[in-house]
Chain A
Amino acid sequence: MSGPVVRPYGDTTGDGMVQVSFTLPVPHDKRAEGAALQLAAKMGMDPALLVHARAMGDGFTFFVVYGRVNHLVDLSAVRVVERDFPLLPAKEINALVKRRLRRKLTVVGACIGTDAHTVGIDAILNVKGIAGEKGLEYYRELRVVNLGAQVSVPDLVEAARAERADAVLVSQVVTQRDAHLHNTREMSAAFREALPAGRRPLLVVGGPRFDEAMAAELGVDRIFGRGTTPREVASYLVHALVTGNGRGGRSGE
């Protein structure tokens, strides 16, 4: 049950030191500083060291607090979605699609709902890519259809059907009022309604604020969080649609 246990590290193993900053809606005075220390104590910081307090506008104070927390982190109890597919080089991805699928693998991408932030989907799809890694358009055996921003869910379903998409990639940046979650559920429901299981494309969503463990709950096949690279997405697509025994999609048709 209990595995390796760690604590935050300031400058000595086990010192448990953390640093936090926050704002309280009170004017800056002695009472405000006391209030900040009270909050720090309730957050489990003991002792808490108020290192900076600064008035901001009327009736707000910003604080920086350093202190020791008593909490322990049980590494054996950490649950994350580990990458469960091999990360392949571009060349091998192309070769696998060509040899095993014997046609191009079609990917339809979009930002859905009111989200106009195409940065994420463009980073994954555009040739330009991100962090020195080329996007999916660069893969010879992938056919990429980027629908761009503010695509309605019915339009996306229709485009996926018309393009005979193997996979649909959706990126969501705006998270106000959980818009990213609502939009994703709406999208997966629409695909379930429009297409029978065997003909449904692989549904992949990505965005900086998603919890990667929520795929089943949102009705999609995979969620990618911040820092995902195009090669990871391409490797996953090949794993799920070509080599793995994950969802078959339309492969082998």
Chain B
Amino acid sequence: MGGKLGLDPAVVARARELARRAGQPVVDLARSHTTVSVERAVLRLAGVGGADPDGIPWVNRLVDAVVADVGLSHGVAVPVFDALARESLDDVTLLAQRAAAGSVRFEVPSGRAATAARRAARRAVAAGIRRVDRRRVERERLVRRWGDPPRRPWVYLIVATGDIYEDIPQAQAAARAGADVIAVIRSTGQSLLDYVPEGATREGFAGTYATQENFRLMRAALDASSRELGRYVRLTNYASGLCMPEMAVLAGLERLDMMLNDSMYGILFRDINPIRTFVDQRFSRQVHARAGIIINTGEDNYLTTADAVEEAHTVTVSQLLNEFFAHEAGLADWQLGLGHAFEINPEVPESLRLELAHALLARELFPDAPLKWMPPTKHMTGDVFRGNLLDGFFNLVGALTGQGILLVGMMTEAVVTPWLSDRDIALQNVRYVLGAAGGLHEDFVPAPGGFVQRRAGLVLDEAVRLLERIVDDSLLTAIGEGTFGIMRRPADRGKGLDGVAAHASDYYNPATEILEADAAGGAVVAAGVSA
């Protein structure tokens, strides 16, 4: 495609430059702080697993014990591996169990002990990262063997029963019916849990808990389906909420293929502290970059609270910021499932042309990103017949504008969690539109100076003006003032702030060190992968 909107390259370049300037202070903030969840993620890479009899993971118990003795600001890697040596243990999980029983005291070592602890921590974490690397290579091999979906967009479908053992047959049925990507929606409370539950789970609220075991079970089931169907079926979950960095690590270890991972979603929609989110974000993106995971950003959510016409430019601004944060963390363009949505009120005159303009703008601004196109939710009224028609138009805009990932809209949106038949009808809708008009984007060239071109240009101009304001006021101020999705989220409020600390001068995080060194060296997949 390219050049269908006649966008001014100078304006596009200016938008990117402004996004960089708006985002850089946040990156600096993220580089100089850590969080309990980042530290727990490091320990998971170092091999700490399992949970105590109450279901609290050992990584939580261990981080809490270290924080109680020496605080968070040094990072937990050095105190933990120093204690491991002093206790003459070689199993970090065992150390966590002893620490939880109160029989281990943590210190910040100096001199030789510090050097040795750093080296041991780095060795343990490197082993965890090698496991992530092996899963990435395995994915690449399986995609080669079973093949990618035969066309774009990839068809993305949700399951959400609350019970992993119900989710599995539903996901397999969806794959058989044509889904290329399965997303397991999380239980609605999970984003605000400050720990990752353990084990296979059978109860959740409007979704299924994300646990390492649930990840493993679903990936294995979809591997079986992929083999049967002769195409690699991808699996999606959420690196969001208070445990975002750990979710990224677990996804890497269990070969999940996509993760929802937005730079601002937790702040705006879950009232998680902005600093906590940006620190957790950066680490989780570095892990995703390494693991070859495609991230899905959450711009669609802005339009569920704000007006999709008036606030269209906030989506563009957020996409540009997400792109900057993603590149900075080492993600490549093919890993950026930047989000946007078909949420304009269908009563608005020319709503379809407006949707086309917005969708095409995203396509042209990010030509190499597999954009994630999200279906109508806000204007789904419970009239399932009208809903099915709206979803058809949504699918048509997706086909016309070359979207990469199409989340299948349900006519029963806002009525019930999708029934088997809802999913089947929705997939018929997608198959009909893609079958009938899948190549129509070749013929769809908006008239020069016409409605679609003018609208796209206007949204881009508004985005540039908003970015200018954000650069002047700082991104944290803009978020505090309710610039995105109307929610006001000041930097000194929100959940999870007590789990944030500024780095001490001796802060050490072997995971960040390895991820940044290898990314800088261009060797994203490190040596030792073939092991």
Contact = CB atoms under 8 A, between A and B. Distances in A.
A126 interface: yes
Given A56-B420, A58-B173, A177 B307 contact: no
A174 interface: yes
A116 B382 contact: no
Contacts of A119: 304-305, 378
Interface in A116-162: 116-119, 122, 126-128, 148-150
Majority secondary structure of chain A interface residues (helix, strand, loop or mixed): loop
Given A57-B173, A174-B205, A208 B414 contact: yes
| From B188, B382, B486, B487, residue with most partner A Cβ within 10 Å | B188
B466 interface: no
Interface residues of B, number: 29
Contacts, number: 68
A117 to B, nearest CB: 8
Contacts of A58: 173
A23 B205 contact: no
Majority secondary structure of chain B interface residues (helix, strand, loop or mixed): loop
- The size bracket of the interface on A is 20 to 34
A150 B420 contact: no
| From B417, B419, B421, residue with most partner A Cβ within 10 Å | B421
B420 A176 contact: no
B427 to A, nearest CB: 10
Nearest to B190: A114
B392 interface: no
Given A128-B486, A148-B271, A176 B162 contact: yes
B189 A23 contact: no
Given A116-B188, A126-B486, A148-B271, A179 B173 contact: no
Contact of A149 (B177, B269, B424, B486): B269
| From A116, A128, A174, A179, residue with most partner B Cβ within 10 Å | A116
B206 A56 contact: no
Interface in B262-296: 269-271
Interface string A58-80: 10101000000000000000000
Contacts of A221: none
B202 interface: no
Contacts of B382: 208, 226
B305 A114 contact: no
A91 B192 CA distance: 40
Given A62-B421, A62-B424, A116 B173 contact: no
B306 interface: yes
21 contacts: A21-B421, A22-B421, A23-B420, A56-B173, A56-B424, A57-B173, A57-B424, A62-B420, A114-B188, A114-B205, A116-B191, A118-B269, A119-B305, A122-B305, A126-B486, A127-B486, A128-B306, A148-B271, A149-B269, A150-B189, A174-B188
